[in-house]
């Protein structure tokens, strides 16, 4: 199975694990728990789950778009390579941890409110994903700091 990206693979794996857990819970299922399955069995279950996810999108049941890669062109990562949103979130968390320290007064009240609102919109767009959770966390920090 060829996945659109790592996010699709991750979603399919999570769905496959959940489907399998439900099947194992059935009385007299005789199924082994997910960790005890062979790599081949997990791979086949994940591929099947990916097909269900794609069918659900095609049927209009939900809009789980494949993750568009983020092009990094930051001073700290000049390669300009495409990475997943999850990898971008990890990159940002690491950057914040490594470059933390003194707070800098770089935004006025109105700018901070605008940036926090933009972060909230990003959080809504990527709700349930690490990047969305990070955006919401940063929005709340800004709201707290400017008294909103």
What average pLDDT does range 83-93 have in this prediction?
Answer: 75
Q: What is the pLDDT of residue 42?
A: 95
Hey, what are 76's tokens?
A: 């700290």
Give residue 41's pLDDT band: very low, low, confident or very high (50, 70, 90): very high
Place of tokens 């778009």: 65
Collapsed DSSP state (helix, strand, coil) of residue 31: coil
Other beta carbons within 10 Å of 74: 12
Other beta carbons within 10 Å of 126: 19
Higher pLDDT, 47 or 91: 47
Look at residue 95 and tell me whether its pLDDT is greater than 90: no
What average pLDDT does range 49-70 have in this prediction?
Answer: 74
Hey, what are 67's tokens?
A: 């993750």
Long-range CB contacts (< 8 A, 24+ apart) of 108-115? 109/146, 112/142, 112/145, 112/146, 113/142, 113/146, 113/148, 115/142
CA distance 35 to 65: 28
CA distance 5 to 17: 19
What average pLDDT does range 7-32 have in this prediction?
Answer: 90
Half-sphere exposure of 146 (CA within 13 A, CB side): 19
Q: What is the pLDDT of residue 128?
A: 78
What average pLDDT does range 119-138 have in this prediction?
Answer: 85
Higher pLDDT, 103 or 2: 2
- Going by their DSSP bridges, the two strands 82-83 and 70-71 should be labelled as antiparallel
Look at residue 46 and tell me whether its pLDDT is greater than 90: yes
């Amino acid at each position: 199975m060829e996945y659109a990206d790592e996010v699709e693979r991750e979603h399919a794996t999570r769905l496959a694990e959940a489907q399998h857990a439900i099947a194992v819970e059935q009385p007299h299922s005789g199924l082994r728990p997910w960790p005890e399955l062979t790599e081949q069995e997990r791979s086949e279950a994940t591929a099947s789950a990916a097909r269900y996810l794609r069918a659900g999108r095609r049927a209009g049941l939900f809009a789980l778009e494949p993750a568009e890669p983020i092009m990094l062109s930051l001073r700290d990562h000049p390669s300009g390579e495409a990475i997943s949103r999850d990898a971008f979130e990890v990159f940002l968390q690491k950057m914040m941890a490594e470059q933390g320290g003194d707070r800098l007064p770089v935004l006025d009240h109105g700018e901070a409110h605008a940036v926090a609102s933009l972060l909230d919109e990003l959080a809504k767009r990527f709700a349930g994903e690490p990047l969305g959770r990070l955006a919401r966390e940063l929005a709340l920090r800004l709201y707290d700091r400017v008294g909103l």
